[in-house]
Amino acid sequence: MGHPQEPSGTGRNRPSGLEGHLSLSEIVADFARRKTGLARRAACYGMTRREFLEFLAAGTALAAVASAGPALSAAEAPSRSRVVVVTHPEVILKGYRANPAVVRQMIDRALMELSGARTEGDAWRAFGRAEDVVAIKHNSMGRPTLNSHTEINDVLSGQLTAFADTNPARIFVVDRQIPEPYNEFSDPFTLPSRTLQPRLRRLYTDHATAIFNVSVLKAHFDDGISAAMKNHLGSVNNPAVFHGWEPEGLPRSLPELNALDPIRAKTRLCILDAIRPLYAGGPGDNPDYRWDYGGLIIGTDPVAVTAVGMRLLETKRAEARGKEWPMTAARQMVAYGQQIGLGNADPDRIDLVEAQMG
């Protein structure tokens, strides 16, 4: 199996091929600048920053859909999406480590619930094939305590090999570092709302036949979210230009990125790691906002999986604050994902299965 090592630093001395990636301190500074600019614009209209954001969202939603272009506007979301939330009280070992055997049981159960298969083998064969070239796109940005658990990657690799007869040499476990020649960038795609032009890794455009999206559930700067859709910022050459949770920023660009054909058509499964989520204070780790949920949120629809994760965080946020604490930008993002046909965000279009194990 391909298990490239991630670089230990994300600062200015970046390894070759990571152009456009900002360090955490750079992202914080960038958000501070954006917040200052939004506050000034809001003051000109006699509004608070939040009122101004809501004003922008209401005024631009229809224009965003109208300008999305044929590649996005022609797509339709599935009529319904199935999402499984599986929990186990013994999935957490010491510290941040997860129990590999329990993680395997949880994913096996979720895939059986998703596929309707009666056996684990049949469930895995519904998501993997012998001839596949598999890209397991995980998230290592929050190491050592806020990354997606590596035990999930190991289960995916092992079970695809055991049950779907996938060749382990054709399974690539990757984040930002990808081995040659799969690390080369494609020709640019154009995202309609802001005309951003990301280039995807050739692993996704030319080689992989199946993508398994493994992300981590955490709040991201006030009212944004890091989950399935944001995970693919690690798959492009210019993630820095995406940042900003204003309505015309990430809430539009992330769904449009995930709607690109190489990602949308090849994604077989989305696994959102909710073993120890972060409900506020992200993107960096903050023990004050962590809790042991012990769960995985799994489905095939990145919008629905993200929407379920968002509601889990909002429930915890309301519990912590004693009143509603909405994730406004995250809500805008999943709503736009449904508008452009990427997936479902409305609860009445999501069949939610809760599987409590142990």
pLDDT tens sequence across 202-214? 999 999 999 999 9
How far is it, in rounded angstroms, from Cα 355 to Cα 41? 47
CB 181 within 8 A of CB 205: no
**Is 164 within a domain?**
yes
The answer to whether 203 and 172 are in contact (CB under 8 A) is yes
Which residue has better confidence, 56 or 295?
295
12 lies in some domain: no
Using pLDDT thresholds of 50, 70 and 90, give the confidence band for residue 87: very high
d(CA 355, CA 351): 13
Tens digit of each residue's pLDDT (9 = 90 or more) over 176-193: 999 999 999 999 999 999
More confident residue, 276 or 282: 276
Range of the domain at 115: 24-356
- The predicted pLDDT at position 69 comes to 37
Question: Which residues, including other chains, have CB under 8 Å from residue 163's CB and lie 6 or more apart?
Answer: 120, 121, 124, 125, 128
Grade residue 289 by pLDDT with cuts at 50, 70 and 90: very high
Q: Which of 32-41, 225-234, 252-261 has the lowest mean pLDDT?
A: 32-41
pLDDT at 12: 32
Report H helices in the chain: 24-44, 49-66, 70-73, 100-115, 120-125, 150-163, 202, 250-258, 261-264, 302-321, 328-339
pLDDT (mean) for 261-271: 98
Instruction: Answer whether residue 277 shows pLDDT above 90.
Output: yes
| pLDDT at residue number 142 | 86
pLDDT of 99-151, one tens digit each? 999 999 999 999 999 999 999 999 999 999 999 999 999 999 988 899 999 99
Does the pLDDT at position 329 exceed 60? yes
- Whether residue 5 lies inside any domain: the answer is no
pLDDT of residue 78: 75
Q: Are strands 295-299 and 81-87 parallel, antiparallel or unpaired?
A: antiparallel
Q: Is 54 helix (H, G, I), strand (E, B) or coil?
A: helix
In a domain, 9, yes or no: no
Closest among 36, 15, 1 to 134, alpha carbons compared: 1
**For 81, phi and psi rounded to 5 degrees?**
-130, 145
- Gyration radius from the chain CA atoms: 19
Average pLDDT over residues 69-79: 54
Q: Domain for residue 16, yes or no? A: no
CA distance 202 to 133: 12
Query: What is the value of pTM for the model shown?
Result: 0.84
Residue 183 lies in a domain: yes
pLDDT of residue 66: 35
Give the lowest-confidence range in 24-28, 153-157, 208-212, 284-288: 24-28
Examine residue 75 and state whether it is found in any structural domain, yes or no.
yes
- On whether residue 158 sits in a domain, the answer given is yes
pLDDT tens-digit readout, 59-68:
433 333 333 3
Percent of the chain at pLDDT exceeding 70: 78
Confidence label for 4 from pLDDT (cuts 50, 70 and 90): very low
Which pLDDT belongs to residue 58?
Answer: 45
Average pLDDT, the chain: 86
| Structural domains counted in the chain | 1
b/e map of 55-77 (b: 16 or more CB within 10 Å)? ebbeeebeebbeebeebbeeeeb
